[in-house]
Amino acid sequence: MDFLIEITLLVILAIILLKIYHRAKRSAMAPSKNRRYISSQDITKNMTLYTNNKTQIEVDPKTLAFKKPTGNPLVLMMAWLMAKQKHLKKYAQIYTEMGFDVVVVHITPWQLLWPVKGTQVVAAETLRFLENNQSYEPIVMHGFSVGAYQLGEIMLQMSRDMDRYGSILERFVCQIWDSAADITEIPVGVPKSIFPRNERMQSALRNYTLYHMKTFHNQATIHYMRSSQMFHSTLLKAPALFFVSDNDPIGPPSSNQAVRENWERADIKVTFKRWERSQHAAHFMKHRDEYLQTLFNHLETCGVLEAIGVPKRAKL
């Protein structure tokens, strides 16, 4: 019986890896149709820079420091699981057209399932990048779905040495959370992200994810719990905007509301934008004008647009 279970799990994981490969291949081959210039450059295999700077940026491979800073403010964007480059680029372009650089942090399903060798390594790389590129200020946090978990991992590492990392937190001026997902949504979110149109494979992977979280409690689940607790208590005190929808099973309003209540008790200003019907991590695609207006109002309220010299008439 154990042998059959192992074979089944190996088959599921093989299918997942093939799907990831084909998605990455299609994304890399997709032509750019953006009217305004935006370039992308990998900093690490899990961090991608989007900028309107046409010059290739030299990056120190050990420290991740830019040898010549761009002089732009920064958006640190935490991607959703299995996000395609063409979709991330649309979000990045909102900011690059205002003069921001955007660094997208993205994780794989394998890295999520094995945090110690996966997401925690990515968290350490993200911290190294922020620590060694101090010219990036102000910083805006814009996270999606599982990105909330990833920020929790980053803050856990920060909390172990606040003398070293405290100044990084001070550079963040506001945060945006789009469809933030909590630990309870992992068995729902992972299968839907990998197999969005295949309910049979969703069911198989959901069962495996539940098995994984139960069997590998010390290797995985306990880290999800710690990250969730950190996200709810949070070291990042900047004003926050949440985008949610009633029909989102992965980032439901209830779990986001729980975060909101915790943050408001900590005197963090929170704005909540809720739709009756939308799509997980795709509110911008479904409600473009309303999404942008709410986002720009938040940036303006936080003083971001004035700080970077964006005139009101240029926002939209």
Strand partners, 241: 176, 271
d(CA 41, CA 64): 13
Q: Is 24 within a domain?
A: no
Of 86, 215, 204, 231, the closest CA to residue 146 belongs to 231
Q: For the segment 112-131, what is each residue's pLDDT rounded down to a tens digit?
A: 999 999 999 999 999 999 99
Q: For the segment 38-83, what is each residue's pLDDT rounded down to a tens digit?
A: 999 999 999 999 999 888 999 999 999 999 999 999 999 999 999 9
Number of domains in the chain: 1
Domain membership of residue 66 as a residue range: 33-314
User: What ranges in 97-238 are assigned the alpha helix state H?
Assistant: 109-113, 119-131, 147-159, 162-170, 186-194, 199-215, 222-233
Of 279, 237, 274, the closest CA to residue 256 belongs to 274
Quick one: which H or E segment has residue 51? strand 47-51
Contact 144/178 with Cβ under 8 angstroms?
yes
Q: Is 17 within a domain?
A: no
Q: Is 228 within a domain?
A: yes
């996200």: which residue's tokens?
231
* Percentage of residues of the chain with pLDDT beyond 90: 82
User: What ranges in 64-146 are assigned the alpha helix state H?
Assistant: 85-96, 109-113, 119-131
Q: What is the CATH number of the domain that holds 182?
A: 3.40.50.1820
Q: Is 179 within a domain?
A: yes
Token pair listed for 265: 């008790």
Q: Is 146 within a domain?
A: yes
Neighbour-count burial of 245, counting CB atoms closer than 10 A to its CB (0-12 exposed, 13-18 middle, 19+ buried): buried
Q: For the segment 241-292, what is each residue's pLDDT rounded down to a tens digit?
A: 999 999 999 999 999 999 999 999 999 999 999 999 999 999 999 999 999 9
Q: Is 4 within a domain?
A: no
d(CA 216, CA 125): 25
Antiparallel, parallel or unpaired: β 139-144 and 270-275 = unpaired
For residue 309, the one-letter residue type is: G
Averaged confidence pLDDT in the chain: 90
